[in-house]
Amino acid sequence: MDGPAEPIARFRKICLELPEATELETWGHPTFRVRDKIFASAGAEGGVWSLGMKTTHEMQAGLVASDPRFSVAAYVGKHGWISMRVDDDVDWNQVRALVVESYRMIAPKTLAARVQL
């Protein structure tokens, strides 16, 4: 990693490129919203970043089973949310795809239709 702020800067850029996306600090961490509904979040514990995004339950199960960086998110995991631990080998294309999918699940249909993977 390039530095402690680098992952969140990249994540922020991905999130805020989406239509009507905003950032609001909640619970001491950045959350990314569309029309006041959270579609992504980030947090750090012990200097390690994790990124939160909504997925389908099927995608959640597949990611958690196939990659140790993914886990069911605390509190909201029952709704399909995942947590992705950021390491040196982050595939930012994968992160972008997950953020876009989360956004499309949360955003109003008119906004979601404007976003392509």
Model confidence pLDDT, tens digit, residues 6-33: 889 999 999 999 999 999 999 889 999 9
30, 55, 44, 53: which is closest to 86 by C-alpha?
A: 44
95, 11 Cβ separation under 8 angstroms: yes
Per-residue pLDDT tens over the stretch 72-107:
999 999 999 999 999 988 999 999 999 999 999 999
The reported pLDDT for the residue numbered 5 is: 67
Chain segment 33-75, per-residue pLDDT in tens: 999 999 999 998 888 899 999 999 999 999 999 999 999 999 9
Phi, psi (degrees; rounded to nearest 5) at 63: -65, -45
Q: 6-112 has which CATH code?
A: 3.90.1150.30
Contact 86, 49 (CB under 8 A): yes
